[in-house]
Structure 1
Amino acid sequence: MEGIFSLTAYSILAQAGVGMSVMLFIAGKVIGLKEENRKQYVQGYAMATLLTAAAMLLSMTHLGMPLRAPNAILNIASSWLSREIFFNGMFFGCVALTAFLLYKKKPGAGLLSALAAISGILCIFSQASIYANTVMPAWGHGHAYVTFLGAMIAMGCVLSGIFFYRHDEEAYRKFFIIGGSLLIVSILAQAGIYAYLAGGLALMGPAGTKSLLLLQGKNMLLTASFLFLTIGLLTCICQYHRRKAGAALYLMAALIVLGEVLNRMIFYGIGVPMGL
């Protein structure tokens, strides 16, 4: 159980940081960077940097010999773990430099923000591929990709919304609509994968059957997860129509993140290797 909590914390922090970077890049294209909103970008990228740094520190607990972690990059051509480490390092450097350049009002932040978004997505894709290409049937069938990328999008939307929600300008409302739409898609995709997964696990032999039984035993946890996600989504929609910012935005973000944490615990909790 301790391992599940550790893996959950690491993956959630990493995906939240990348998701914020992706949405901040979109904000730059939709809202634009102006002197009056520069502080919002600096704060957003600084938060993404801190989330990523915390995730990287947690990742060291999963390595038997942390000091040899850089050696893993040498297998980048054949190892998804090596690719994750490489893109994670690249993402951290880009997102930290983006925050620094924006704070110092130096040129180059636009290019680095694009590189941060791209390297971040590749990092999470590599992270999901590690789990998708194992002997755990429960992590196949697209489950790892939908869960990891879906969480990245969902958390990125709501966390960036805290910095960029304003109802008095059309560009901000347009960004909120884009974020809300992506949030809906990510939640529906994560919910739908369980129905698809249940049918696939039944055909995957003893390991698949055991994973299916474990999943059925977590119905209450699964219900709670998507209840939090749904309430968070409804809060987002209500805030948009009320044209009012405030504490509800933080409640929305907390509900979405909590829902993703519970969903991730289910993901790790139903993994059963073939042959056991």
Structure 2
Amino acid sequence: MHPALSVLFFTTLSGAGYGLLFLLGTGVALGIWPHLPLEIAMPLAIGLGLVALGLASSMAHLGQPARAWRAFTQWRTSWLSREGVLAVLGFAPALALGFLYFTPVEGGMNPPLQRACGATMALLAVATVYCTAQIYASLKTVPAWHNPYVTPGYFLFALYSAGLWLWALGAWYRRGDPQFWPQLGLPPGVLFMVVVVAMLACVQKLLYWRHIDNPPVTATVESATGLNDVGAVSAFERPHTEENYITREMVFVLARKHSTKLRAIALLFAFALPLAALVFAMLWVPTSFVLATVALVSASVGIFVERWLFFAEARHVVSLYYGEQKA
């Protein structure tokens, strides 16, 4: 499939944003984090900002952005519509949570209501990411997406990028504190979570690539044309004499050598460099805020390349009519 930049920015930015909102909402619901107004303001504002930027970038992929409202009416049958509805609904508990933290009420800060908003925000974040993943995983006509590796990948990358954002925020917030490490202002175990989720995401991506490199045959030229009984079938000539929407969007060709090189780049920037930065930060605490920034930027680049490959390596079964032998 053709990797549209608007969709790449959407999945990368919104994934990190919803991951932040999930971690923040979970911490509030369980009462373990945050403890200070600034600790909620920073991840809440950045999480909502990333989500808003992602949604705005997705509008660029629409042929008629003015008609985008119509997408919200198809929630009964469309995962994209469900994603849009949940994305909008998710702003309500997030804004309510921010309002409750910064607006004292009689008798205190009303923790039960805060926890309810946090839990609702976390659940809506999970549901929205799930809908985003299902937009692709539900497409039987794209074998590279219609498999059990896609949805877990979306969740893992959202958590991973969100953990790096929290580490960077906490590191910059406490960068001048001599007692830096115990006072990062982070939820308990977030750095351990980053390492574990990074390892799981890396394994998931390697398994995914192995799966699409050796996919089960779901369709052939013979089955697509209904000519199974006549033996081997090949196209006499292409259906069109020049490029059109189908060849441009659904029969995108990525050379194997380029795919291998880009996979290595994705693994290096998304996992190797951020984890190395985390190890050095533990050994040399005063530089943690610099290394956290390096890890965040590196992972963002790596995830963007991984998202590009996610689309570029996927083939629609319509490619069978343009020279492919199986899908």
Larger radius of gyration: 2
Q: Is the 8 A contact 1:150 1:187 kept in 2?
A: no
| Counterpart amino acid of residue 162 in structure 1 | A
Cα distance in 1 for residues equivalent to 2:252 and 2:5: 19
> How many pairs align?
271
Deviation track 1:135-184 (CA, whole Å, cap 9, x = no partner) reads: 11222223432432222111111011223455225985533223332232
- Please tell me the residue identity of whatever aligns with 1:38: P
The one-letter code of the counterpart of 1:175 is V
Identity %: 17
CA distance in 1, matches of 2:260, 2:88: 37
Residue number among 245, 263, 275 corresponding to 1:233 in the alignment: 275
**Distance 1:99-1:162 versus aligned 2 partners, 3 A rule:** farther
> After the TM superposition, which residues 1-276 of structure 1 pair with which residues of structure 2 at under 5 Å, given as runs?
4-28=4-28, 29=30, 31-34=32-35, 37-105=36-104, 107=110, 108-134=113-139, 135-164=141-170, 167-168=181-182, 174-200=189-215, 203-205=217-219, 214=255, 217-229=258-270, 230-244=272-286, 245-276=288-319
2: CA distance, partners of 1:189 / 1:3 = 21
Q: Distance in 2 between matches of 1:158 and 1:268?
A: 24
Task: Tell me the distance in 2 between the aligned counterparts of 1:5 and 1:71.
Answer: 23
Q: Which amino acid aligns with 2:51?
A: T
Q: Is the 8 A contact 2:17 2:47 kept in 1?
A: yes
How far the C-alpha of 1:221 sits from its partner, in A, is: 0.9
Per-residue CA distance 1:30-79 (angstroms, 9 max, x = gap): 74332xx3202111100011111111211222233334333333322221
- TM superposition shift of 1:256: 1.1
Query: Match of 2:153, as an amino acid?
Result: T
Corresponding residue SS for 2:182 = coil
Q: Distance in 2 between matches of 1:238 and 1:175?
A: 17
Residues 88 and 253 of structure 1: is their aligned pair in 2 closer, same or farther, counting only changes over 3 Å?
same
Whole-Å separation in 1 of the counterparts to 2:274 and 2:73: 42
Gaps spanning 5+ residues in structure 2: where?
172-179, 222-250, 320-327
Read off the aligned partner of 2:45 and give its amino acid letter. Answer: A
Give distance in 2, aligned partners of 1:190 and 1:53.
27
Deviations 1:219-247 (A, max 9, x none): 11110010112211222233235445321
**Equivalents in 1 of 2:92, 2:54: separation in Å?**
14
Q: Distance in 1 between matches of 2:98 and 2:198?
A: 25
Which sections of structure 1, spanning at least 5 residues, go unmatched?
A: none
Contact (CA 8 Å) 2:274, 2:299: kept in 1 or not?
yes
- The alignment's TM-score, normalised by the length of structure 1, stands at 0.85
Which structure has greater helix proportion? 1
When normalised by structure 2's length, the TM-score is 0.73
Cα RMSD between the aligned structures? 2.8
2:43 and 2:17 map into 1 onto residues whose CA distance is 10
Secondary structure, aligned partner of 1:125: helix
Q: Which range is displaced more, 66-75 or 150-159?
A: 66-75
> Residues of 2 paired with 1:214 and 1:270: CA distance?
9
